[in-house]
Each structure stands twice: as structure tokens, then as C-alpha cells.
Amino acid sequence: MTNAPEPNTRGPLFDPIFGGDNAADLSDHAWVAAMLEVEAALTCVAAKYGQVDPRHAEIVSAVAGDLAEPGAVDITALGAAAAAGGNPVIPLVTILRTAVARLGVPASAVHPGATSQDILDSALMLLTGRALVDVRASIGDAIDSSTRLARQHRGTLTAARTLGQQALPTTFGVVAAGWTEGLMRADDVLARAQSAVAVQFGGAAGTLAALHPHGLDIADALADELGLARQGIPWHTDRTRIAEIVGALGIAAGAIGKPALDITLLASTEVGEVGEDSPGGSSAMPHKRNPVAAITARAAVRRVPGLVATALASMEHEHQRAAGAWHAEWETLTEILRLVGGGTHRLAASLAGLQVQPEAMAHNLSITRGLLLAERVTSALSTHTDRAREIVTAACASGTALDSHPDVIRYLEPAAVRELLEPGRYLGHADDIVDRVLAAADTRPERH
């Protein structure tokens, strides 16, 4: 029985909003196809070590390929059948064995020496490896855009904000450079996590007894066949690999959420310092120009930390096969990959078309009438009196401009105070910070 091909989505209503339709294929069909890919590769590798007839291996590989086509396996029926054994590998192997039996292939040629966890873990690693490539591609796009913004706005003055309040002058180049730095570090962590994407093959209890003395060689050959890292030893109940991967994805989620939040805040009506090139509207308010790409990037990655916690809490696998903790990983990691993939895509879209408004930044710098530079005035005043901070604090609270407040100009000439209040003269190492990030971005390996 066949059914209609399944779209690459967990929910066709909401996935496009959160970028999930642009993430790597992590659908139920992708899961089934990955499990069949592992089964086919295992049979072919086993044939090289004399465990399966090579002619039978060719048939198993061909039939597995046919079954991996969209609609070839009734996923609804497979899921229902999986409930009895607690995983979908058991009924899927039955489907594959039944199909090849019609062509004269014995059941022993399918799933040789394997256990269900070998197939599921290896399939999950196939999906994870492909998804990480997709995630890193989108992060790379976001890095390119934030680097461009840092370079273009190296000298664009804006207000730095701490605890929601204007603090000191900075440049938008520094802001964008901060985004770039965080995204680059997240990408580096993801790159290291890719080395944890390894095959799983240990047999019924992790000793590969059914394939001795070729078990370890078959495991390595299976990894090579699938394009996964070699396992070293089976990791059925050592979930540090999963932890490395979800930890890296959690870091990526935070790195995505930071610029997405900044963009959302900077695009508010009262601030108006940035905007997206294709802002969203409102069903009720025609004037709204919502930074939807940044908003939905935030929405996607906000769900990630809880899922990461679930995966980390499931690391304790008892003895040689976990009862429940292993099962909790499948959908958890799949959803993390989908959300981070979607979030990176939406952030990349936001940054690619971000419209920066230097005039609004300049206006916002002026609304405190110089109080933004109170720290600098205090420093200059402290060379004349020990009451410098007390005087400037009172002057700021009075609402009187610092260059005309009597307690200030008693020690400093008004013209000198006005010079101290120039935002562009108190930027510290802003240019150096931007240049360091640009240099680091320029030396990153080229993306292909």
C-alpha cells in the first residue's frame, strides 16, 4: 500500500512562519528513508566481509532504495505497527524482508548483526549531519550580512544601551560586529559538533558478538559507506555525542536570538533605528511595519533551551540499553534541528535586508541633551574637585544642560563642556573593535 508523499514539514501551517520549511528535511519520510539507507549500507558492507551473499546485497540495496521513495511506505501504518515494539525499525525491517523475499533473498540478508538502536541512532546521525550543514549555511549567510553591516556602519554613531537606558555613544558598526562575533563563535562550536556525528553499530548488547571477528571492521566500513564518523566503540548508552550536538545547537540558538532581539527593539516606533526590507503588517492596524523575520527567528529559537534540557536530562542510559531515555531523544533532537534551522534562516533573511537609519540614531543621541556624556564630564571635573560625581549627578537630575549648569561651569568653561559632550569624541576603541571582528571574519574559510 502507498500513500501520498509527505511534505518536508512537521506542520504546514506554522513551519513556514518559523522558517521550518527552509530547514533540512526532517520529516517522517526523511526518517524512514534514512533508516532504509542504513539497512542497505549495512547489508552491502556485510557482503564485503562474507556475511551476506553479494547478489542478495545488491537486491536488498535496490529494494531499500525503492522503499525510500516518497509514498512507498505507508508511514501511518508503520507508526501504528511500531507501537508494539517501541520503535519503527522492527516493522520496517519486516517490510524490507518481505519485499526482498519475493526476489529470493533470505531474511538473514537484512539487518545482519544489528539491533534496532543501531539503525535508529545511525539514521538520526544521518539526518543530524545533513541538518547541521544546512544550519551552518544559514549562519554563514547571517555572518556575511552582519559583517557587511559592521563594515558599512563602522563610523555610524548610535547610543549604546544598558538595562534598557541610553548609556554611552557607540557605533552601529560595533553593534553589528558584536552580532558577527557571536554568530562566528556559534558556527565554530557547530563545526566541532559535526565530528560527533558518528555511526552507531554494536549489535544486541554492544559487543557485536553476532559478527565476530569482523564486527568492528564492519562498523568502521558502515561509517565510511554512510559518510559518518567512525564510532571507535559502540555508544548505545554513552550519550555524550548527543550532548555535544544539542549543546552546540543550544549555543547557536542563543547566538541567533541576540541579534533578532536587538533588531526587534531597534525597530520599535519610539526608536526607529532599523527596519526590515519586507516588514509584516497587522490585520487591524495599517500603519504597522513589524520586523517579522527577526520576531519569528526569536520565536523559533526560544523553544530550543527547553528541548536541550530534555536531551541533556536523558543522558543517563542504564546498563546496555535505556528504557525511555533513548526513546525521548528522537523527536527532541529532530525538533531542535528544525527550530535552529528555521531560526537561522529567518535571521539571515532579516539581516540581509536590514535598513539602517543613521538619522534616527543621531536624533536619539541628542534627546538627552548631552547627558549621555555625563561620565566624560565627571572625569574632567574630577581634576578640579572631589565632588565631581555629586555635582554632575545633581546637574543631570535638575534638567539643566551641563554646559550651562552653574556648579559645572564654575570649574569648566561652557565651550569645554560642549566639546566633552560631542558623541563622536568619546568612542574609545570602537573602530578597533570593529576592525578586529572584520579581520577575523575575513580570514574565515570560504564557504562553498
Helix (H, G, I), strand (E, B) or coil at 90: helix
Alpha-carbon torsion 111, 210, 90, 105, what sign? positive
Instruction: Answer whether residue 101 shows pLDDT above 90.
Output: yes
Reported CATH class of domain 115-198+235-367+428-448: mainly alpha
pLDDT tens, residue by residue, 285-299: 444 478 999 999 999
Instruction: Answer whether residue 3 shows pLDDT above 60.
Output: no
Helix (H, G, I), strand (E, B) or coil at 221: helix
Higher pLDDT, 289 or 218: 218
Instruction: Answer whether residue 371 shows pLDDT above 90.
Output: no
Where exactly are the structural domains of the chain? 1-114, 115-198+235-367+428-448, 371-420
Catalytic residue among 268, 282, 398, 404: 282
CATH 1.10.10.10 is the classification of domain 1-114: no
- Report the alpha-carbon distance of residue 293 to residue 285 in Å, rounded: 19
- Report the alpha-carbon distance of residue 409 to residue 391 in Å, rounded: 11
Confidence of residue 368 (pLDDT cuts 50, 70, 90): confident
Instruction: Answer whether residue 242 shows pLDDT above 60.
Output: yes
For the record, the C-alpha cell of 367 comes out as: 534627546
Report whether 251 contacts 326 (CB < 8 A): no
Q: What is the pLDDT at residue 91?
A: 97
Average pLDDT on 7-33 reads 83
Confidence of residue 282 (pLDDT cuts 50, 70, 90): very low
Residue type, 130: R
pLDDT tens, residue by residue, 27-48: 999 999 999 999 999 999 999 9
E strand or H helix that includes residue 439: helix 430-442
Residue type, 94: T
Q: What is the pLDDT at residue 289?
A: 72
The set of residues, in sequence order, having a beta carbon less than 8 Å from that of 132 and lying 6+ positions away, is 190, 193, 194, 197, 245, 337
User: Alpha carbon 374 to chain centroid distance?
Assistant: 40
pLDDT tens, residue by residue, 137-165: 999 999 999 999 999 999 999 999 999 99
Looking at every residue in the chain, the average pLDDT score rounds to 93
Average pLDDT on 350-370 reads 94
- Report the alpha-carbon distance of residue 174 to residue 429 in Å, rounded: 10
Q: What is the pLDDT at residue 7?
A: 56
- Report the alpha-carbon distance of residue 89 to residue 92 in Å, rounded: 5
In sequence order, which ranges of 153-214 are alpha helices (DSSP H)? Answer: 172-193
For residue 89, how many C-alpha atoms fall within 13 Å in the half-sphere facing its CB?
20
Q: What is the pLDDT at residue 9?
A: 61
For the record, the C-alpha cell of 362 comes out as: 543621531
Average pLDDT on 98-115 reads 97
Report whether 340 contacts 137 (CB < 8 A): no
Give me the percent of the chain exceeding a pLDDT of 70: 95
Cα 261 to Cα 267, 287, 299, distances in angstroms: 10, 22, 10
Catalytic residue among 161, 289, 321, 387: 321
Q: What is the pLDDT at residue 5?
A: 46
This prediction's pTM? 0.92
Confidence of residue 1 (pLDDT cuts 50, 70, 90): very low
- Report the alpha-carbon distance of residue 164 to residue 28 in Å, rounded: 44
Instruction: Answer whether residue 2 shows pLDDT above 60.
Output: no
Angle (CA) 298-304-310 rounded to 5° is: 160
pLDDT tens, residue by residue, 56-96: 999 999 999 999 999 999 999 999 999 999 999 999 999 99
In sequence order, which ranges of 289-420 are alpha helices (DSSP H)? Answer: 292-302, 304-313, 329-352, 358-366, 374-381, 388-398, 406-409, 414-420
321 is catalytic: yes
Average pLDDT on 303-313 reads 97
pLDDT tens, residue by residue, 403-439: 889 999 899 998 998 899 898 999 999 999 999 999 9
366 is catalytic: no
